[in-house]
Chains A and B, each alone.
Chain A
Amino acid sequence: MLDQIDQTSLIDIRGVCRSFPKGSGEDLLVLENVDLTIQSGEIVGLLGRSGSGKSTLLRIIAGLVAPSSGEAKCRGEIIKGPPNGVAMVFQSFALFPWLTVLQNVELGLEALGIDSAERRTRALAAIDLIGLDGFESAYPKELSGGMRQRVGFARALVVHPDLLLMDEPFSALDVLTAETLRTDLIDLWTEGRLPIKSVLMVTHNIEEAVLMCDRILVFSSNPGRVAVEIKVDLPHPRNRLDPTFRQLVDSIYARMTQREEPKAPTVEGAHSAGVGTVLNHISSNVLSGLIETLAGPPYNGHADLPVLAGQLQLEADELFHFGEALQLLKFAQLREGDLVLTDAGMRFAHLETDDRKKLFAEHLINYVPVMGLIRRVLDERPSHTAPAARFRNELEDYMSEDYADETLKTIVSWGRYAELFAYDEQSELFSLENPH
């Protein structure tokens, strides 16, 4: 019996799907047919863009969300509610502001009904381990972000979980703090001082995944699927400047951009997207700035994504969003880890403000179907006005309410910049009133 338990994997996910209800009837599929096993002694990373369902998968394993279909097992038992021996570290730390560091750390033990003497010993040991000595009686609001996340780690470690779940644990921290925390954690892990067996972490930072994980599952978006699984055999501590490390990062960049290729056919004139494309809200200032950077030296219209991300101090995920927006507008193309300006993009970089707006408007009408639709409706109606609800309903046929809101926000912002139409926030009305 004991042997059998040892042989079963810690976590076993088979064919899991998860959908969420959407504004109009049909459900939105965020996770499709995911398989995943986690064994003892490994750090597994879930890497993907926002909206790729990786956080949802983490929450399914944490027992906070139930799968719509498929089965999720922890030590051979179906997960119903948070399983024992699984603890979680949150992106936002999720500390209780009214409890001291010590009380926060003891919380998980209290819930397990452990008596106070042992509770104290274990909590102090965890605090000691994670480098929080001297902060026991401090309240979270007195601590810096890095120290707060250390409390988050101590609170999770103190229950001695078999599996530690981490939901983008470093993404709310500044670069330096995040790096210190990462290396501290990896050091403790390699020295075998962490009272845990395995780690599952969600991240959208490619370098972070390569730095920490033994195995990386790259997710593709809409719906979330495991696109590829990559083993990282580099020994710890890993060096970011090591050529093999760089190569691995580059290849993951390439793979993550490559997935988007089919969406953007290169044939001129063909619409690359339908009315139902989700538009991420990216300010026209950012787009202009990015085009200028790309057009200027040293890139001269052609940039390697990891290099560009490093120079602009952007997360890969953000840069992807920007690149995608440029691709959608046909100002640039994402190709195998590179971002390449199109002729129109080059032209845009050298135009004055008014001409830029005209070019932007032209591309909006031609390549963003929903923009063309709004403009057509406004032109056709005698009043030259249309309520936002009319387009929101149409968007909600294709996407969730949140995405529809985001898309509408983008439409308004881009439309205003291009002076395609006016929008009154109060009455939620599009009109042709004051452009030109």
Chain B
Amino acid sequence: MTTPANTLRRFAGTGRGLMADSGALVFVVLGLLVAGSWALVGPSFLSYENILSIVQRSVALGIVAAGQTIVILVGSLDLSVAYLVSVTAVIASAIMQGDPALMLPAVAVCLAIGVIVGLTNGLIITKLRVNAFIATLGVALILRGVLNASVDNFTGSVPIEFQALAYASLGPVPYSIMLLAGVFAAGWFLLRYTRLGHHIYAVGGDEETARLSGIRSHRIIITSHVIVSLTAVLTGLFIVSRLRAGAPWVGPDGAYDLESIAAVVVGGTALAGGRGGVLGTLAGVFILALLDNVFNQLQVNPFIKDIVRGVIIVGAVAIYALGSRRRDG
């Protein structure tokens, strides 16, 4: 009974309802940056190798930023992801010890840890009513303490087979990019087509209304926290496959906590929750990676790079805010 036209209309309709208007804007920004970079760097910028390099640089941050999008959409956020990335990298490599037979158990243990951390964050926020910022900061400190008390250098190693995740490809497409694409496709599908996705927007938009409409808002918040923790675990697994062994500093060095939040807001998702989506975040991640790439190629002082990044993050959010204020006017 569903005609193609109907499906299409519904598709478009849901898109407009569930994606913030600023979601489109970030792609314009990305396009402008690509054009600008091309002009600055020259034709080599748009070479297959260079684009591949930009996308590959985006994988680690991209995966956890997809999770961060979901938890921000539900009206929360997660500052514990950076240390969870480290915990995953260290534990995965410590369990595997170069033995391919231990790959599956190691991944399973890491995912289980992700679920536990996510549940902990979610339960503290919903049941103890601790503000998400404080709750996840506390959990981050706990993870850091445990990590630094147990290890202080590279621990164990991952087998060649596991390194394939970071280094091998299927035909011309690296596995890492497939992983990134898979995570975003899953996030996009979750938000757009599942009830959980709709509930995430509802709870993030107005938790009380959602609750009074029969949505178990606590459960939605907790689930979102489990999801973001699982994406942090995936990022940790990807990083350890790239580094061949896990070390406690890989997470904080990548600043995955604040960087992922930056990517989400640059991507047009409202920090207050309820509006936005993962596609904008993907563009946000690309914008950050592209800046890195251009500045490296032009060999500009890295401090200037930070200044430009700062301006872009603040500028993007200001433009979204102005846009929505005008609409409300």
Same complex: no
Chain B residues within CB distance 8 Å of chain A: none
Chain A residues within CB distance 8 Å of chain B: none
